[in-house]
Amino acid sequence: MINRKILEITPYQPGKPIEEVKRQLGLKEVIKLASNENPLGPSPKAVLAIKKSLTKINRYPEGSCFYLRQRLSKKLKVRPENLIFGNGSDELIDIVIKAFCEPDDEIITADTTFLEYRIIALQNGRAVRCIPLKDFRYDLARIKDRIGPKTKAIFIANPNNPTGTYVTKREVDDFLNGLPENVVAIFDQAYLEFVENKDFPLSLNYFRQGKNVIILRTFSKIYGLAGLRIGYGIAREEFIQYMERARQPFNVNTLAQEAALAALDDTVFIRKAQRAVREGKKYLYGELDRLKINYIPSAANFILIDLKRDGLKIFNKLLKEGVIVRDMQQYGLNNFIRVTIGREKENKKFVAALKKVLS
Ligand SMILES: Cc1ncc(COP(=O)(O)O)c(C=O)c1O
């Protein structure tokens, strides 16, 4: 009875929730550094906006995200018609695949990247080709080489999750130059706001040049709204119109719209979150260096750590110390763990727990 494509899917295993770990291990204090969330909480302006709009939830949300669309279009200097909103950027991945890929079409991505590209493609019955990373980075030259007559969409997480690495402006320029006209490149920029590297590409420029690109962004990371589920896409109007056909009418809830609108303007909160990640990263790099533990330098708010021993075992031991990180079995990186940069106290707790379980 079951769709054969569904049989190929291993369900996505998210980071363990704090309450679940407390319940299962009988712990009182647990910290979560597992899902690249904002450890400072949501933007206070967003919380206030949600409180004010609570009485509106008897009504369906405004499907067009009107006010958020207007505000974001001004901020990004794009037209309102160039934007689409989703129930997290996860949903936009689904919408892109539904709008662009027919049953015979092929989707390309990396083999060690955000797992949802492959999972959502399979859920939609689409074939996926996964190209190995090179030195933990997307190998855009090899991906371009592998484009065939059936290739329709290419998903590129930049920065990449779980490695924290990124592809440079020059690499993306070369990649897009001469890309076949019937192929769309999707740049997933969930971690954009954490990037400080000078050679990181300004993806909006490729959109402005009229290239076949779709840019995906989210309110789940720097804006601290992961629990509300809201993300957006930027593309040329024609693409957006087709994607709108694959969108459910009330996909973004009222509270998410109000919170995102308020969070967009909370520059004080955003700067604070950026500073926390910058300082936390410096601290964690220093401690890992002292412990002589290898890690992949990250442009995002998490670090992929090479323990050179069974990562799942260390993950389980850290859980018992009340620290949730992410084991990397799903990604085939068995000797690694990924840790999200937390608040100062959380980073210290992680380092103390890591020292303890490694000794
Ligand atoms: C690269 C990447 N894209 C998209 C997402 C999903 O974000 P959202 O919460 O907007 O669905 C994540 C979440 O971890 C991610 O790492």
pLDDT digits (tens, 9 = 90+) for 297-321: 999 999 999 999 999 999 999 999 9
For the Cβ of 347 lying below 6 angstroms from any atom of ligand 1, the answer is no
Confidence of residue 22 (pLDDT cuts 50, 70, 90): very high
Ligand 1 mean position to 292 CA, how many Å? 30
The DSSP secondary structure of 214-274, one letter per residue, reads EEEEESSSTT--GGG--EEEE--HHHHHHHHHTS-TT-S-HHHHHHHHHHHT-HHHHHHHH
CATH number of this structure's domain 4-42+267-358 = 3.90.1150.10
For the Cβ of 188 lying below 6 angstroms from any atom of ligand 1, the answer is yes
Report the residue among 92, 109, 114 best suited for mutation to probe ligand 1: largest number of ligand atoms under 8 A from its CB: 114
**pLDDT tens for residues 94-121?**
999 999 999 999 999 999 999 999 999 9
C-alpha–C-alpha distance, residues 291 and 76, integer Å: 43
Closest CA to 190 of 164, 168, 216, 165: 216
Ligand 1 mean position to 254 CA, how many Å? 20
For the Cβ of 301 lying below 6 angstroms from any atom of ligand 1, the answer is no
**Can you tell me the mean pLDDT for 281-296?**
98
Cα 134 to chain center, whole Å?
20
Which of ligand 1's atoms lies nearest the C-alpha of 226? 9
Ligand 1 mean position to 297 CA, how many Å? 20
Ligand 1 mean position to 115 CA, how many Å? 10
Instruction: Supply the pLDDT for residue 286.
Output: 98
Sign of the alpha-carbon dihedral angle for 131, 132, 136, 142? negative
The answer to whether 86 and 63 have CB atoms below 8 angstroms apart is no
C-alpha–C-alpha distance, residues 131 and 65, integer Å: 36
**pLDDT tens for residues 182-201?**
999 999 999 999 999 999 99
What does the mean pLDDT of the chain come to? 97
C-alpha–C-alpha distance, residues 245 and 183, integer Å: 19
- State the pairing for strand pair 31-32/323-324: parallel
For the Cβ of 106 lying below 6 angstroms from any atom of ligand 1, the answer is no
C-alpha–C-alpha distance, residues 155 and 164, integer Å: 16
Which residue carries 């009485």 as its tokens?
Answer: 55
The DSSP secondary structure of 48-89, one letter per residue, reads HHHHHHGGGTTSPP-TT-HHHHHHHHHHHTS-GGGEEEESHH
C-alpha–C-alpha distance, residues 345 and 19, integer Å: 19
C-alpha–C-alpha distance, residues 5 and 118, integer Å: 11
CATH number of this structure's domain 46-264 = 3.40.640.10
For the Cβ of 321 lying below 6 angstroms from any atom of ligand 1, the answer is no
- State the pairing for strand pair 231-234/83-86: antiparallel
For the Cβ of 164 lying below 6 angstroms from any atom of ligand 1, the answer is no
For the Cβ of 224 lying below 6 angstroms from any atom of ligand 1, the answer is no
* Whether the domain at 4-42+267-358 and the domain at 46-264 fall into the same CATH topology: no
Domain locations in the chain as residue ranges = 4-42+267-358, 46-264
C-alpha–C-alpha distance, residues 332 and 310, integer Å: 12
For the Cβ of 61 lying below 6 angstroms from any atom of ligand 1, the answer is no
Residue 91 pLDDT > 90: yes
Which of ligand 1's atoms lies nearest the C-alpha of 230? 10
Helix (H, G, I), strand (E, B) or coil at 95: helix
**pLDDT tens for residues 196-231?**
999 999 999 999 999 999 999 999 999 999 999 999
In this structure, which amino acid lies at residue 74?
A: K
How many angstroms separate the Cα of 127 from the Cα of each of 5, 182, 247? Answer: 9, 17, 21
For the Cβ of 187 lying below 6 angstroms from any atom of ligand 1, the answer is no
Burial class (CB in 10 A: 0-12, 13-18, 19+), 126: buried
Instruction: Supply the pLDDT for residue 90.
Output: 97
**pLDDT tens for residues 42-67?**
999 999 999 999 999 999 999 999 99
For the Cβ of 228 lying below 6 angstroms from any atom of ligand 1, the answer is no
